[in-house]
Amino acid sequence: DYGHMEVIFGEYINQKFDVYVRTENTIEVEYNGKSLTIECNNFNNTEYVARLVMHCFAKLYLGKK
């Protein structure tokens, strides 16, 4: 409802994950049918947001959810 971004990684367009801003302080990362939500208190700090997104993606990718 707040925003959506599709991130393509690797060499093929089907290698992707989705990022959603669900509320004013939560991000949801979805990959391969699974999702993980994390709290984000500072959307103005883009490096912080990127770290949170990649942290969630790594956990999903490695199956450590």
**Selection from 10, 22, 17 nearest residue 54 by Cα:** 17
pTM of the shown model: 0.85
For β-strands 34-39 and 3-8, DSSP reports them as: unpaired
pLDDT in tens, 5-62: 888 887 777 789 999 998 989 999 999 999 999 999 999 999 999 999 999 999 999 9
The predicted pLDDT at position 39 comes to 96
pLDDT for the residue 51:
96
Dist. CA 22–CA 61, nearest whole Å: 21
**Distance (Å, whole) CA 1 – CA 36:** 17
What pLDDT is attached to residue 14? 76
The pLDDT assigned to 1 comes to: 53
Lookup: tokens for 60: 């999903």
31 CB burial (10 A radius; 0-12, 13-18, 19+): buried
